[in-house]
A and B are shown apart, each in its own frame.
Chain A
Amino acid sequence: MSGLFPLSVTGAATRRRGKRLVGPVDFDWDGQGTQVVLGPNGSGKTTLLRLLHGIARLHEGEISWACGTAAARNAQAFVFQRPVMLRRTVGENLAYPLTLRGVARAEARGLAEGWADRVGLAEMIDRPASVLSGGEQQKLAIARALIVEPELVFLDEPSASLDGRATREIEAILSDAVEGGTRVVLATHDMGQARRLASRVVFMLHGRVHETGPAHRFFDAPETAEARAFLKGDIVE
């Protein structure tokens, strides 16, 4: 472990074509529990995750990891809403991030087989990843992210458009990872999933952190009218 935490975000903002997409965002995180980023569509959840991971460019403010930005990138992994499959087999997809880090091919293959077994893809290991179903592809993407044992994994709506069974399987994989010491930041608009997984909530609205706090407090007694409306299922704009 490289010691990512504490994380300090101060006035962080990103723009596209002059328009501010997210920010300014301020919050601190000591790395405890699972952070769930909630908010309506277009509130900036995905962009916040991309900003924290360094995929989106930081135009203003500062994102400060305890171990420094360069080391932080290598201690993190990212799972996208629409899983990106390398044009390779399931096993080769799993082994890819390991080979990038210089792990020997045979060892990488062994670890890939172990992870394929853990996520229920053992029988598919030599098949092209493109032939997997949506749920299987997302499980593969999560396994590929976790295979390098990241200290922190970002997940952008990992179960969007998946059925209940696939969602349950993905949540089980995530719960195992959290028990193993991996920290999770998850963006979702699935309230049920947020209640099941969150230990802290960041509620985003109009590209800003509107409310943040422990999950039980956010769900039981939200402080802002917008958060209350969102939890009730009202349209929040």
Chain B
Amino acid sequence: MVDLWQGLSQAFWLVVTLDAELAEIALRSLSVTLTALALGCVIAMPLAALLAVRRFRWRRSVIAVLNALMGLPPVVVGLVVYVMLSRSGPFGVFGLLFTPTAMIIAQMIVIVPLMASIAHQSLRELWAEYHDLLISMNVTQSQKVRTLLWDARRALLTAALAGFGRGIGEVGAIMIVGGNIDHVTRVLTTAIALETGKGEFALALALGFVLIALTILVNLLIHWLGQTEREGRW
């Protein structure tokens, strides 16, 4: 309990004194996760829309696999990305291992199935509602996808926020591919793991509280930008 209070007060102190190291780690956490989120959305949302509107032979199996991948173990993802990016791996020549880029790739792999699955649920319902209308208007496949993505944008925001939540709190994969290198790949979650290992529970808790505050702040900001929960809107 004492550690909790110490952690809270230390978190408060780190924030009000604008601790340079904390700012660096927090900004890196944000930049890695937001980049992974943006790239992940570009893949996950159209994929979800295509799965909603297209009928093909293995569609149900693909959806089942996608849903199963929501629970993809980050440590395994990290390991696979590590092998792929390591010097002897197929992408070793790019020298991406232990860089923020490798962390972005790992986070993307973790969050894409989650976002695509959640988005697919919403888009499937919207497609059921729109199906006859859009067919009667003779729309093309790409027009269908664009219409669904635009009209379901607020529901997709929820999927994106879920992806952000998973990404920003992720530690297993980015620890393996990033290496938790000070001033290079250290982010809030890996710093928490490090401080916990060192027995610095108060500092670890302080970083944890900063992480939670950051997550809430970004969620509120996205809700505000997306104009959700307003009267007369979807």
With known contacts A84-B129, A131-B232, A74–B135 Cβ distance under 8 A:
no
Contact of B130 among A55, A78, A86, A128 (CB under 8 A): A86
A73 at the interface (CB under 8 A from B): yes
- Pick the contact of A77 from B130, B136, B152 — CB < 8 Å? B136
A100 beta carbon closer than 8 Å to chain B = yes
Chain B residues near A200 (CB, 8 Å)?
A: none
Given contacts A127-B232, A128-B232, A131-B232, contact A88 B151 (CB under 8 A): yes
Closest to A73 in B: B138
The residue on A at minimum CB distance from B153 is A87
How long is the Cα–Cα vector from A100 to B146 in the complex, in angstroms?
Answer: 11
Alpha-carbon distance A54/B143, docked complex (angstroms): 19
Name the contact of A87 in the complex, choosing from B132, B138, B143, B151 (C-beta under 8 A): B151
User: A208 at interface (Cβ–Cβ under 8 A)?
Assistant: no
Identify the closest chain B residue to A84 (Cβ). B133
Residues on the B chain within 8 Å of A86, using CB: 130, 133, 147, 151
Contact between B139 and A100 (Cβ–Cβ < 8 Å)? yes
Residues in A whose Cβ lies below 8 Å from that of B147: 86, 96
B233 interface hit (Cβ, 8 Å): yes
Q: Does B234 contact A (CB under 8 A)?
A: yes
Task: Give residues 92-147 of A contacting B (CB, 8 Å).
Answer: 96-97, 100, 127-128, 130-131
- State in angstroms the CA–CA spacing of A92 and B213 once bound together: 38
Query: In the assembled complex, how far is the CB of residue B157 from the closest CB belonging to chain A, in whole angstroms?
Result: 14
B1 within 8 Å of A by Cβ?
no
> Which of B126, B133, B232 sits near A80, CB closer than 8 Å?
B133
Judge if A45 is at the interface, Cβ distance under 8 Å. no
CA distance in complex: A53, B233 (Å): 33
Contact in complex: B130, A80 (CB < 8 Å): no
- Identify which of residues 58-86 in chain A touch chain B, using a CB-to-CB cut-off of 8 Å: 73-74, 77-78, 80, 84, 86
Nearest-Cβ distance from residue A129 to partner chain B, whole angstroms: 10
Query: A80 — nearest CB in chain B belongs to which residue?
Result: B132
How many residues does chain B have at the interface if contact means C-beta atoms less than 8 Å apart?
A: 17
A144 to B234, CA, bound (A): 20
On chain A, the residues within 8 Å of B143 by CB distance are 100
A55 to B233, CA, bound (A): 30
Report which of B132, B139, B234 forms a contact with A84, defined as CB distance below 8 A: B132
Query: Does B137 touch A at the CB level, under 8 Å?
Result: yes
CA distance A86 to B138 in the complex (A): 15
Closest chain A residue, CB of each to CB of B143: A100
Contact B132 A55 (CB under 8 A): yes
Scan B138-167; emit 1 where CB is below 8 A from any A CB, else 0. 110001000100011000000000000000
Taking the nearest CB of chain A, how far is it from the CB of B202, in angstroms? 49
Query: Chain B, 206-234, contact with A by CB distance < 8 Å: what is the 0/1 string?
Result: 00000000000000000000000000111
Annotate A9-35 by CB proximity to B: 1 below 8 A, 0 otherwise: 000000000000000000000000000
Which residues of A are found within 8 Å of B130, using beta-carbon distances? 84, 86
B115 to A: closest C-beta gap in Å: 20
Closest chain-B Cβ to A136's Cβ sits at a distance in Å of: 15
Q: Which residues of B contact A80 (CB under 8 A)?
A: 132-133, 136
Q: How far is the CA of A77 from the CA of B137 in the complex (A)?
A: 7
Contact for A74 among B133, B138, B232, B234, CB less than 8 A: B138
* A39-67 contact mask (Cβ, 8 Å, vs B): 1 or 0: 00000000000000101000000000000
Q: Which residues of B contact A (CB under 8 A)?
A: 126, 129-130, 132-133, 135-139, 143, 147, 151-152, 232-234
| 30 examples of A-B residue contacts, CB within 8 angstroms | A55-B132, A55-B135, A55-B136, A73-B138, A74-B138, A77-B136, A77-B137, A78-B132, A78-B136, A80-B132, A80-B133, A80-B136, A84-B129, A84-B130, A84-B132, A86-B130, A86-B147, A86-B151, A87-B126, A87-B151, A88-B151, A96-B147, A97-B137, A100-B139, A100-B143, A128-B232, A128-B233, A128-B234, A130-B234, A131-B232
Query: With contacts A87-B151, A100-B137 known, what are 11 further pairs, Cβ within 8 A?
Result: A77-B137, A78-B132, A78-B136, A80-B133, A86-B130, A86-B133, A96-B147, A97-B137, A100-B139, A127-B232, A130-B234
6 closest Cβ pairs, A-B complex? A78-B136, A84-B133, A87-B151, A87-B234, A73-B138, A55-B135
